[in-house]
């Protein structure tokens, strides 16, 4: 049982990652792709944070009575990665807004059609 | 016992993920993304990642949702079906997923103290922080001092996003307050906004300077500060909000934040230490650390708040 | 005090200058500030090269924290060579940028362009200098984000879709690298590259490390546009402003190759990556495919910038071919070609920028009889083309010579034949442009076309000059490349 | 004791999720998101007490603000879109 | 003597709050029309949240924790109904007609 429980967390996170990755690859809508990227990155963060957890440990804020703390380093890495994912999402959506104004559509297949015309 | 909550939350996340894949309406997908990041934020709380939960909620449920909806408001709501059947993507995804699952077989069990992750660097951080830096919140001490250069890179990433959105969307100042037809009926919202606006800004400052002792820090404070102004812009119209914080000031604030951070680093060099060495800032190394961490949190807060507002103004001012 | 902190200042000076550029309202002041900073970065790069040349590998702990806890900058000869390439191309393209930006960018973008350019420069320098895996990911994101914005500033609307496609693929690549670094951290417990390489042998045969290796390799291959994952590159370089194409072609993919080298040799180690994981054979196969297929596709392109983009994919194939041999000779040949290709492609794209400024189009059918109107630009293009093909007395010949030499010493004689054959393919597509410009009768309104301005011609000829100088006296650069390869492999062989 | 309350909160969140998936109009989904936001606030507070870490309450406070402002933002952004499209359809 | 009384009081409040929240959640699912669901959410959530927070205040005793809980309570009391008000007004404004008689389900 502990074998399953030990890796259950990681398997679910991998399924979430693959969901986000699938949206990015399969869906032609540009906004949907950016949302897929956002979900893909958020699930990578959950992988990092579930790596940092110690059984019976608490948040890494030092207090007198407590001794076992979960690992602070992945938390720092993820604080950086969340900001990176926000920057990517903001730029992606800004590009989608400009593409929508330039092409009149935000669907990748329609854009290819317009590109072939001119 | 926390395993149960952890497993249920992961289950809910998975269901939300599948729903996002199947949903056709983009507005629904944007709302589900907001719920997705709210659930993942509460999962972080269960996993004892306090600062990350704060940031994930503020950025994921707050700013990202507003940006997604502002974009969907400009584009067609309905998503057209893909022309070719998604067999190749399905194949690529299953191969990548299988590789990852294959990779997890040798991973240390979830949460066991013997994992190499907890042995090496982490125990040193937990052990040295009270002595060398004297800040209870170890995450802030690692973020600001041990790996302070990562955070400088991070502030530069946020500054890049701000400059990028400025380049792509620019800004249109709204002179007249052209609002939707329901302008008269906004009274309730305006009263509440007027009541809450100062409270939110005060709370942002609390989070900024409380970062050493509890969850908080530059990023979270910057986002909460920007959320306060977004509430003001929602209630009193974008024109008034742009009069309160006009765009050139935002450009200056975004730049000044990064410069404050870098100046603290260069100050370390001028006082004879290495780059970003806070020990030399004051005569006693620990006070130097406190001073250094305080200054860079301030710089980070200013830049993040300014960039969030630049991005919000860029998106919402393009609507009409 | 300045000299001891040089590694940190090398990245911090452009990082600080980017917000300053944003504060300067007038685009001319922003350009002047960016110019000064670029030349300052070049001066510091030369100083750093000299320091590394004399003192060997420099290690600089940021924040004065000991290595595994704090972030450490580690610069060896390979890193110094990369800094030299980035700084040289940056300093040369800056004077070129003023006229080009005026012509190709929308008026309101000229101010923000320099901020994004300096951020891209900071990101690239930060990747090359750092000795910490996660810090490498952060600066990789800085350079990628700013290059998405730079590409999207292109004249035509297709620059937006090109930038979007690059953003999606680049972010997937960066997230794969993040997953790889995460798995590595999970098994070794540290993020410092030296520390990881020491702790790796105990856990090297676990499945997690193999998956981490695979993810990092795929992620970095997307960044350096290795053959099957290069789909974003042609559109990005074709529709970006010419000075951005020149700067990106000469530096962005090259830094990707450097990251690949750093991961293969410093982090995972030669034994693990080439013997246990057999990455050498896979890379060789992909490199051969890249060289052949990309050169063939380049022949049929009408847009010269797109042709040069496909030729970039082929040239990266040469570099990866050198690295896949995993011998000191092979890796140094690869790094030599890295330097030469950066100079050649930078010059060629700048020449196309001059043509676009005067002619308004880079299509071959519009360039009939252009040589008479723009003799200097076309002469630069021909010189660059010859160097691309590998004609003796040019830099291209030197690096192809060392590549063939490395392949033969390893007994891969078919590779040597392949390199010579593919040079012929390069001859064909360069000849198509030369033939159109020199041997066709000029079109109707060709007489109105004037020569490109001096501010754009001099930088182009500067790079061509470096090319020819390396062609004649290759001593210095080959020495640096060999030392770089030795320091990379040296670490692996310990 | 707290376990029972957090279990009930989780069930309520799950029900809210079902409404978020099924909800025919956007406003149903916004309502579901708002409800899940409130329930998350309470769950974080209860978890804070279960783990005897009162720091969690700062997070709960931020969640209240975030869920309120994002609900209002969704409505205002969507309202301007309806008025924009309203003018198109006329 | 006070402690067991406080514990009992807090458990009662917590359980009561939880039950109200559950009723609100069930109401959201079962009601046929948007406005009725909105009614269920607004009433039950605000009351349920209030009761749960009061229960926690009893647990917290006189300390900084109670101040924070009161702050959360204060925010919730104001933002909950306002959000629902804005929601209902936006729905009405976009001509979403309430279900008047129940023979044609939405």
- Provide the ipTM: 0.93
Q: Assign C272 a pLDDT band (cuts: 50, 70, 90).
A: confident
Query: Number of CB pairs < 8 Å for B and D?
Result: 145
In DSSP terms, B137 is beta-bridged to A61
pLDDT value of residue D85: 57
Q: What is the mean pLDDT of residues C292-297?
A: 92
Residues E46 and B173: their CA atoms lie apart, in Å, by: 39
Q: Per-residue confidence at C291, pLDDT binned at 50, 70, 90?
A: very high
Binary contact (E15, D27; C-beta < 8 A): no
At residue C255, the 3 state secondary structure works out as helix
In a domain, A108, yes or no: yes
Q: What pLDDT shows up at residue C494?
A: 43
- Residue C34 CA to residue C458 CA, distance in Å, equals 18
- Residue that is written with structure tokens 């092979």 in the block: C330
Per-residue pLDDT at D79 exceeds 90: no
Q: How many CA atoms lie within 13 A of C220 on its CB side?
A: 24
Q: How many domains does chain A have?
A: 1
3-state secondary structure at position C309: helix
Number of domains in chain D: 1
pLDDT at A3: 61
- Averaged pLDDT of chain A: 87
Of A31, A70, A83, the CB nearest to B48: A70
**Helix (H, G, I), strand (E, B), or coil: what is residue B106?**
coil
Residues 6+ apart with CB under 8 A from B136: A61, A62, A63, B130, B212, B213
- What pLDDT is stored for residue C489 in this prediction? 83
> What is the distance in angstroms between the Cα of E3 and the nearest Cα belonging to chain D?
16
Residue of B93, B115, B149 to mutate for C, most C C-beta atoms under 10 A: B149
CA of B305 to nearest chain A CA: how many angstroms apart?
A: 13
pLDDT tens per residue, range A62-112: 887 777 888 888 999 999 999 999 999 999 999 999 999 998 888 888 888
The predicted structure's pLDDT at residue B176: 53
CB-nearest to B182 from E78, E79, E89 is E89
Domain enclosing residue D79, as ranges: 2-89
**Which stretch of B67-81, B299-313, C359-373, E33-47 has the lowest confidence by average pLDDT?**
B67-81
- The Cα of D4 is separated from the nearest Cα of chain A by a number of Å equal to 20
Residue A49 counted as domain residue: yes
Least confident stretch, B169-173, B229-233, B254-258: B169-173
Domain assignment present for residue A74? The answer is yes
Summarize the confidence of residues D31-38 as an average pLDDT: 92
In this structure, is residue A4 part of a structural domain? Answer: no
Contacts of A3 (CB under 8 A, 6+ apart): none
User: How many residue contacts between B and E have a Cβ separation below 8 Å?
Assistant: 20
Indicate the pLDDT class of residue E64, thresholds 50, 70 and 90: confident
Looking at residue C451, what DSSP letter applies? P
Exposed/middle/buried for C258, CB within 10 Å: 0-12, 13-18, 19+? buried
Q: Is the pLDDT of residue D80 over 80?
A: no
Residue A61, domain member (yes or no)? no
The yes-or-no verdict on residue B85 having pLDDT over 90 is no
Nearest CA in chain B to D77: B70
How far is C350 from C345, CA to CA, in rounded Å?
8
pLDDT, tens digit, 9 for 90 and up, residues E34-52: 888 898 988 888 899 999 9
The rounded distance, in Å, linking the Cα atoms of C478 and C335 is 9
pLDDT in tens, B174-220: 655 555 555 556 788 889 999 999 999 999 999 998 888 888 888 99
**pLDDT at residue D90 in the model:** 32
Q: Which of D65, D55, D66 is nearest to E68 (CA)?
A: D55
pLDDT at D87: 43
pLDDT(D23) > 70: yes
Fold that domain B1-107 belongs to in CATH: 1.20.120
C-alpha to C-alpha distance for A29 and A37, rounded to whole angstroms: 13
| A91 neighbourhood in chain B, CB within 8 Å | 161, 164-165, 168
Distant-in-sequence contacts of C159-162, Cβ < 8 A, 24+ apart: C159/C239, C159/C240, C160/A95, C160/A98, C160/A99, C160/A102, C161/A99, C161/A103, C161/A111, C161/A115, C161/C235, C162/C232, C162/C235, C162/C236, C162/C238, C162/C239, C162/C240
Return the SS3 of C130.
strand
In this structure, what CATH number is given to the domain that contains residue A28? Answer: 1.10.287.3510
The DSSP 8-state label assigned to residue B89 in this structure reads H
In angstroms, rounded to a whole number, what is the distance separating the alpha carbons of residues B103 and B15?
24
Q: Do A88 and C171 touch (CB under 8 A)?
A: yes
CA distance B310 to chain E (A): 25
Low-confidence winner among B126-135, C277-286, D13-22 (lowest mean pLDDT): B126-135
Rounded-to-integer distance, Cα B204 and Cα B224, Å: 5
Contacts of D53 in chain A (CB under 8 A): 58-59, 61
Whole-number CA gyration radius for chain C? 21
Pairing state between β C58-61 and C72-75: antiparallel
CB contact under 8 A, C172 and A40: yes
CB D59 within 8 A of CB B53: yes
Query: Please, do chains D and C touch (3+ CB pairs < 8 Å)?
Result: no
A104 to B313, C174, D86: CA distances (angstroms): 22, 30, 19
Domain limits, CATH 1.20.120.1200, in chain B: 1-107
Asked, for residue A38, whether it belongs to a domain, the answer is yes
| Least confident segment among B234-238, C13-17, C316-320 | B234-238
- Tell me which residue of B320, B307, B285, B11 sits closest to B134, measured CA to CA: B285
Q: Which of A7-11, B78-82, B190-194, C102-106 has the largest mean confidence?
A: B190-194
On whether the CB atoms of residues A55 and A32 are closer than 8 A, the answer is: no
Contact B158 A83 (CB under 8 A): yes
Q: Quote the DSSP letter at residue E63.
A: S
What are the CA-CA distances from residue E22 to residues C6, C492, D67, E41 (Å)? Answer: 63, 62, 20, 10
Nearest to A95 among C160, C172, C186 (CB): C160
Residues of chain C above pLDDT 90, percent: 49
To which H or E segment does residue C382 belong?
Answer: helix C375-389
**Does the beta carbon of B124 lie under 8 angstroms from any beta carbon of chain A?**
no
Quick one: pLDDT band at residue C391, thresholds 50, 70, 90?
confident
């Amino acid at each position: 049982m502990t074998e399953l429980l030990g890796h259950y967390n990681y398997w679910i996170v991998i399924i979430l990652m693959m969901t986000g990755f699938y949206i990015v690859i399969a869906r032609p809508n540009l906004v949907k792709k950016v949302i897929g990227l956002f979900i893909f990155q958020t699930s990578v963060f959950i992988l990092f944070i579930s790596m940092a957890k110690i059984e019976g440990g608490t948040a890494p804020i030092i207090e007198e009575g407590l001794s076992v703390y979960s690992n602070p380093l992945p938390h720092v890495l993820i604080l950086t990665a969340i900001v990176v994912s926000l920057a990517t999402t903001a730029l992606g959506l800004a590009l989608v807004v400009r593409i929508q104004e330039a092409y009149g559509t935000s669907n990748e297949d329609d854009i290819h059609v317009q590109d072939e015309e001119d | 016992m926390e395993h149960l909550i952890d497993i249920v939350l992961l289950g809910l996340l998975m269901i939300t993920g599948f729903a996002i894949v199947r949903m056709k309406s983009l507005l629904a997908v944007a709302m589900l993304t907001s719920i997705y990041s709210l659930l993942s934020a509460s999962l972080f709380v269960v996993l004892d990642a306090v600062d990350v939960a704060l940031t994930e909620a503020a950025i994921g449920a707050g700013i990202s949702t507003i940006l997604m909806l502002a974009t969907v408001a400009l584009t067609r709501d309905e998503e057209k079906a893909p022309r070719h059947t998604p067999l190749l993507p399905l194949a690529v995804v299953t191969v990548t997923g299988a590789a990852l699952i294959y990779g997890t077989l040798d991973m240390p069990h979830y949460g066991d103290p013997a994992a190499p992750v907890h042995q090496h660097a982490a125990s040193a951080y937990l052990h040295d922080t009270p002595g060398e830096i004297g800040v209870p919140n170890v995450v802030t001490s690692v973020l600001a001092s041990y790996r302070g250069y990562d955070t400088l890179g991070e502030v530069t990433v946020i500054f890049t996003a701000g400059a990028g959105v400025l380049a792509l969307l620019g800004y249109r100042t709204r002179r007249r307050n052209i609002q939707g037809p329901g302008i008269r009926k906004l009274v309730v919202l305006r009263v509440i906004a007027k009541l809450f606006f100062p409270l939110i800004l005060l709370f942002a400052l609390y989070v900024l300077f409380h970062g050493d002792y509890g969850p908080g820090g530059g990023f979270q404070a910057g986002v909460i500060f920007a959320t306060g102004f977004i509430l003001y812009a929602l209630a009193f119209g974008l024109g008034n909000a742009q009069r309160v914080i006009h765009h050139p000031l935002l450009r200056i604030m975004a730049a000044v934040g990064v410069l404050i951070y870098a100046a603290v680093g260069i100050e370390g060099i001028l006082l004879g230490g290495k780059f970003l060495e806070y020990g030399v800032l004051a005569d006693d190394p620990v006070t130097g650390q406190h001073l250094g961490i305080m200054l860079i949190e301030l710089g980070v807060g200013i830049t993040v708040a300014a960039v969030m507002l630049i991005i919000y103004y860029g998106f919402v001012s393009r609507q009409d | 005090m300045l000299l001891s902190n040089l590694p940190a200042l090398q990245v911090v000076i452009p990082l600080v200058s980017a917000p300053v550029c944003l504060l300067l309202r007038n685009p001319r002041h922003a350009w002047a500030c960016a110019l000064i900073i670029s030349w300052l970065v070049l001066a510091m790069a030369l100083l750093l090269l000299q320091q590394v040349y004399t003192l060997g590998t420099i290690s600089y702990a940021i924040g004065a924290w000991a290595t595994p806890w704090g972030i450490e900058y580690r610069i060896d000869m390979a890193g110094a060579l990369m800094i030299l390439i980035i700084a040289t191309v940056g300093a040369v393209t800056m004077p070129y940028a003023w006229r080009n930006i005026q012509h190709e960018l929308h008026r309101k973008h000229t101010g923000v362009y320099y901020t994004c350019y300096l951020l891209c420069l900071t990101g690239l320098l930060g990747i090359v200098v750092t000795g910490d895996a996660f810090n490498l990911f952060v600066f990789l994101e800085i350079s990628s984000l700013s290059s998405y914005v730079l590409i999207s500033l292109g004249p035509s609307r297709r620059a937006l879709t090109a930038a979007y496609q690059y953003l999606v693929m680049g972010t997937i690549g960066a997230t794969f690298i993040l997953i790889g670094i995460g798995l590595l951290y999970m098994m070794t417990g540290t993020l410092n590259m030296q520390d990881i390489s020491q702790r790796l042998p105990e856990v090297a045969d676990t499945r997690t490390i193999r998956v981490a290796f695979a993810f990092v390799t795929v992620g970095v291959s997307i960044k350096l546009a290795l053959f099957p994952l290069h789909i974003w590159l042609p559109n990005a370089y074709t529709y970006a402003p010419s000075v951005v194409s020149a700067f990106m072609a000469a530096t962005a993919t090259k830094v990707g190759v450097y990251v690949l080298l750093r991961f293969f040799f410093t982090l995972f180690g030669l034994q693990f990556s080439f013997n246990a994981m057999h990455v050498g054979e896979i890379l060789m196969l992909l490199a051969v495919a890249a060289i052949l297929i990309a050169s063939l596709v380049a022949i049929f392109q009408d847009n010269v910038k797109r042709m040069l983009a496909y030729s970039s994919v082929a040239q990266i194939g040469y570099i990866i071919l050198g690295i896949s041999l995993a011998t000191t000779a092979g890796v140094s040949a690869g790094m030599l070609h890295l330097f030469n290709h950066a100079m050649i492609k930078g010059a060629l794209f700048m020449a196309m920028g001059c043509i676009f400024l005067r002619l308004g189009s880079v299509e071959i059918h519009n360039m009939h009889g252009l040589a008479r109107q723009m003799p200097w630009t076309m002469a630069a293009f021909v010189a660059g083309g010859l160097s691309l093909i590998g004609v003796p007395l040019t830099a291209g010949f030197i690096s192809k010579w060392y590549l063939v030499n490395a392949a033969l010493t390893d007994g891969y004689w078919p590779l040597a034949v392949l390199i010579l054959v593919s040079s012929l393919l390069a001859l064909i597509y360069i000849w198509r442009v030369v033939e159109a410009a020199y041997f066709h009768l000029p079109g109707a309104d060709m007489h109105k076309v004037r020569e490109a301005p001096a501010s754009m011609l001099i930088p182009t000829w500067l790079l061509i000059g470096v090319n020819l100088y390396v062609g004649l006296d290759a001593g210095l650069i080959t020495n640096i490349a060999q030392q770089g390869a030795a320091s990379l492999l040296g670490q692996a062989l310990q | 004791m707290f376990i029972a309350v957090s279990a009930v909160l989780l069930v309520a969140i799950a029900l809210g999720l079902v409404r978020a998936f099924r909800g025919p109009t956007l406003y149903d989904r916004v309502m579901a998101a708002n409800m899940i936001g409130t329930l998350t606030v309470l769950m974080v507070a209860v978890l804070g007490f279960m783990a005897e870490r009162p720091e969690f309450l700062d997070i709960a406070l931020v969640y209240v603000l975030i869920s309120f402002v994002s609900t209002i933002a969704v409505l205002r952004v969507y309202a301007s879109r309806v008025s924009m499209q309203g003018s198109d359809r006329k | 003597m006070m402690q067991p009384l406080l514990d009992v009081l807090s458990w009662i409040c917590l359980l009561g709050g939880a039950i109200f929240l559950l009723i609100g959640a069930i109401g959201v699912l079962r009601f046929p029309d948007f406005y009725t669901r909105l009614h269920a959410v607004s009433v039950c959530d605000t009351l349920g949240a209030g009761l749960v927070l009061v229960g926690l205040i009893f647990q917290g005793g006189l300390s900084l924790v109670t101040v924070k809980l009161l702050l959360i309570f204060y925010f919730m009391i104001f933002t909950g109904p306002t959000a629902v008000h804005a929601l209902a007004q936006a729905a009405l404004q976009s001509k979403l007609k309430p279900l008047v008689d129940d023979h044609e389900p939405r």
